[in-house]
Structure 1
Amino acid sequence: MPDLIASGLKVLFCGINPSVYSAVVGHHFARPGNRFWPALHASGFTERLLAPSEQEELLTLGYGITNVVDRATVSADVLTAEELAEGGRRLEAKVRRYRPRCVAVLGIGAWRTAFGHPKASLGAQPWTLGGTRVWVLPNPSGLNAHYRPTDLARLFRELRLAVESARS
């Protein structure tokens, strides 16, 4: 699954890993029921609800998408701790290369495992990644029923407002 990335992004959204469905169709967060695109819109990152096939429009807005682990799976819970840790090292190198203003990791469990922060919570992190500030959001997968769409929108909005207020 190719990254949607460029230098100097406002936010680099980082999923755990692509779904098999996303890998087949070639678009991030493409699986029906994934709430990433509705959360972006409801939180004000996008003016309208984008379809996964319109993902390139994010770059013009200053946003990109990557994953901690490149391997596509039916469910992220089949990833090993070793895969997540190795993916974390690759993500850090990517962040150093592209220098986004903020990295938003979409999955608290992935962040805790990949970066060795077992007690981390959602929101702004006290740690940086490759010198870049980190924000952790819930995994927007439809399989993660812990968060309702309104909760996701609120948490994504908090990130958007923090990034906008930190503009130089």
Structure 2
Amino acid sequence: MDADRSVPFRRPTPQEVAAAAGRGLVDVIGPDLRVLFCGFNPGLYSAAVGEHFARRGSRFWPALHRSGFTDRELYPWERDELLRQGLGITSLSNRATARADELTAAELVAGVTGLAVKAERHRPRWVAILGVTAYRIAFVRPGAGLGPQPDRLGPARVWVLPNPSGLNAHFPLPALTAEFAALRREAQSG
């Protein structure tokens, strides 16, 4: 992200980040989105500042831009601009944790019900689950891979993308961007 733009929030202290455990985030969602991106859950840093994918170095924003979803790299606090571009963000679980593996399988499975309600209400064309592991657990599809899935959430089709976490070493940024671009092409065509 460009260094010339000021961050609209103060960088949280380590104590503030730790205190964000269990806190949630407000969805970035609206009617008739092209794609509603759905992560596992907020990380502690994101919960501490109140923005999705807020940690400096998050690969979500560069992948979104480089794949052609946005004409420039957006900042986590640019919720209105994200919505203007027909994109939104939510999570399977809205409980912030230090690591996604702190979530239980039951939390992820229960999150599908809430996600289905959001999809029925807001009617995105696609729901993109950010992480094949989360998808396999939450949708009880142990053999699932990346790409389009047979599931629907309300009227929305489901697509699985790699988790954009920097801990996902299997997908460096160029590979992550290519996966995002495949969804963008499909979202534009129909």
Length-normalised TM-score, structure 1: 0.96
Aligned twin of 2:62 = 38
Aligned twin of 2:80 = 56
Percent identical across equivalent pairs?
A: 57
5+ residue gaps, structure 1: none
Greater C-alpha Rg: 2
1:1-168 to structure 2, matched below 5 A, reads 1-166=25-190
| Structure 2 letter corresponding to 1:116 | V
The Cα of 1:33 is off from its aligned counterpart by: 2.7
| Structure 1 letter corresponding to 2:114 | R
Contact 2:149 2:160 in 1 (8 A): yes
| Structure 1 letter corresponding to 2:177 | A
| Structure 2 letter corresponding to 1:138 | P
The Cα of 1:128 is off from its aligned counterpart by: 1.3
The Cα of 1:32 is off from its aligned counterpart by: 2.3
Contact 1:33 1:141 in 2 (8 A): no
The Cα of 1:88 is off from its aligned counterpart by: 1.2
The Cα of 1:55 is off from its aligned counterpart by: 3.0
| Structure 2 letter corresponding to 1:6 | G
- Which protein has greater RCO, CA pairs closer than 8 Å, 6+ apart? 1
Please list the CA deviations of residues 115-155 of structure 1 after superposition, one character each: whole Å capped at 9, or x if unmatched.
Answer: 11111110011221223100000010111121010001100
When structure 1 is superposed on structure 2, of 133-142 and 24-33 the one drifting more is: 24-33
Please list the CA deviations of residues 75-110 of structure 1 after superposition, one character each: whole Å capped at 9, or x if unmatched.
Answer: 101110011111111111111111101100001111
Aligned residues: 166
Rounded to whole Å, the distance in 1 between the matches of 2:69 and 2:81 is: 12
5+ residue gaps, structure 2: 1-24
Q: Which runs of 4+ in 1 moved over 6 A?
A: none
Rounded to whole Å, the distance in 1 between the matches of 2:151 and 2:70 is: 27
Contact 2:125 2:155 in 1 (8 A): no
